[in-house]
Amino acid sequence: MGLLSRLKQRLFRWQSDGTGGFRLGQRRVFIIPTRGGLLFALALLVMLIGAINYTLALGHALVFLLAGLGLTGMVHTFRNLYGLLITPGRVEAVFAGETAHFQLHLGNDRRVPRLALELTTEAGPAVVTDINEQDKSTVSVPLAARQRGWLELPRVRLASRYPLGLFVAWSYLQPAMRCLVYPPPIFSPLPLPRPIAASGERRGDAGQDDFAGFRERQPADSPRHVAWKASARQGSEQPLLIKQFAGGAEVELQLDWSSTDPALPAESRLSLLAGWVLTAESQAISYGLRLPGEQIPIAGGAAQRHRCLAALALFQP
């Protein structure tokens, strides 16, 4: 690592564990004149020469007033960033090809608003936000998710030219934030489902489905499924009741790495699996996932979806 990059690393690294807030101190805020500021300075120089040449006393005063204005503008631009409290927020997982949004909470405990704060990453477009006095604002830094896996939030440049635009103050933020990127789904017909072996097998998964009601017991039902309390309330003449769960799939799917075409590249096979996960989820089918070296038991719901997609995202073939 070169000296310069080590210095940069040292200057710009955010020493945060990713949970705590971070306050922008004066050592982290940098400030330089903008192009507009240089134009302004040049105009002042020409004005000063004019004022001297024509001996304009008020011309001198104007030039000096504007020079003072530039200096105070510098201080105020610095203040617009100084003491800003930045806290990492949520990051929703996205599919590759989509845009990841990294939420940052910006807190302003000053009694003046902070306007026109620009957040940019080297890759993404700029986001502009304002925070009222003693208020918070949440801003999502967009970043294109190109590959599955973890997407680390790169260095974010937080900059402001407010109020006068003659100076730009900036700071580099590097919160430990990452976004899980699922493989891009390829939608294809689901593989043939495996018929339900026995409803009793679903017992372990019952907690993940919603309780829907009761039905009368059939002779085939296991006595362990009888809702004894509810049955007791019914009286002894009535048949016993069995708990029934909604969303309980009629079929169960075992999505398997080996059931995809081995001739395809690994990424495409993962995409096919991701497509199946989404299709199965949308059709309310319970499913499991089997990858080489990893096995996810059959279940349904958002948690299962995330578990499976995460496994696909982080799969190393």
Partner 1 sequence: MSTPAREALEHNATPWLFGVAALTTAPHFLHQPYWLSAFASLVLLWGFRLWQRDLRLPGRWLMIPLVIVGCAGILFEFRTLLGRDAGVAMLVMFMAMKLLELKSRRDAMVVITLGYFLLLTHYFYSQSIFTGLWLLTATWLITAALVRLHGGPASRWRATLRYAAQLCLQALPFMLALYLLFPRISGPLWGLPQDALSAKTGLSEQMSPGSIANLVQSGEIAFRVHFDGPLPASDKLYWRGPVMEDFDGTTWRQATARSAPERVEARSPPITYQTTLEAHNQRWLLALDAPTTLPADTFLNSRMTVNARQPISQRQRFQLAASLDYRFNPQEAPAVLRRNLLLPSGLNPQSARLAATWREREKTPLAIIEQALRLFASRDFAYTLQAPLLGTDAIDDFLFRSQRGFCEHYAAAFVVLMRGAGIPARVVGGYQGGERNPLDGYLVVRQSDAHAWSEVWLEQQGWVRYDPTAVVAPARLESGLSNALPFAELPPALVRLRSDLMRNLRHRWEAINNAWNQQVLGYDPLRQRELLARLGWPDADWAKLAGALAVACAGLLAVVTAWTLYQRPEHDPALRLWHKALRHLHRRQVNCAPWETPRALARRLDSERPELAAAFDRVVEAYLQARYGKVPGDLKTLRERVAQLP
Q: Rounded CA gap, 211 and 13, in Å? A: 50
Q: Rounded CA gap, 61 and 55, in Å? A: 11
CB-nearer residue toward partner 1: 125 or 200: 125
25 DSSP assignment: -
198 DSSP assignment: -
69 binds partner 1, rule: CB under 8 A: yes
Please give the full DSSP string across 300-313, using - where no structure is assigned. Answer: -SHHHHHHHHHHHH
63 binds partner 1, rule: CB under 8 A: yes
98 binds partner 1, rule: CB under 8 A: no
**How many residues of this chain bind partner 1 (CB under 8 A)?**
66
SS3 label, residue 208 = helix
Q: Rounded CA gap, 56 and 22, in Å? A: 50
82 binds partner 1, rule: CB under 8 A: yes
Region binding partner 1 by CB under 8 A among candidate stretches 61-69, 178-186, 187-195, 299-307: 61-69
208 binds partner 1, rule: CB under 8 A: no
Q: Which of 8, 12, 67, 297 binds partner 1 (CB under 8 A)?
A: 67
Q: Which of 32, 75, 232, 264 binds partner 1 (CB under 8 A)?
A: 75
43 binds partner 1, rule: CB under 8 A: yes
Region binding partner 1 by CB under 8 A among candidate stretches 70-78, 178-186, 252-260, 263-271: 70-78
CB atoms within 10 A of CB 139: 21
CB-nearer residue toward partner 1: 116 or 314: 116
Please give the full DSSP string across 39-85, using - where no structure is assigned. Answer: HHHHHHHHHHHHHHHTT-HHHHHHHHHHHHHHHHHHHHHHHHHTT-E
Residues 147-176 binding partner 1 (CB under 8 A) are 161-165
109 binds partner 1, rule: CB under 8 A: yes
Q: Which of 60, 178, 243, 307 binds partner 1 (CB under 8 A)?
A: 60
CB atoms within 10 A of CB 311: 19
213 DSSP assignment: E
64 binds partner 1, rule: CB under 8 A: yes
**Closest approach of partner 1 to the CB of residue 249, in Å:** 38
CB-nearer residue toward partner 1: 43 or 232: 43
Alpha helix segments (H runs only) across 135-282: 228-234, 266-282
Cβ-contact 85, 21 below 8 angstroms = yes
15 binds partner 1, rule: CB under 8 A: yes
Q: Which of 107, 191, 193, 301 binds partner 1 (CB under 8 A)?
A: 107
31 binds partner 1, rule: CB under 8 A: no
Strand order in the sheet with 167-173: 30-33, 167-173, 156-160, 114-121, 127-131
Residues binding partner 1 (CB under 8 A):
15-17, 19-23, 35-36, 39-40, 43, 46-47, 49-69, 71-73, 75-76, 78-79, 82-83, 85, 87, 105, 107, 109-111, 113, 115-116, 118, 120, 125-126, 128, 130, 161-165
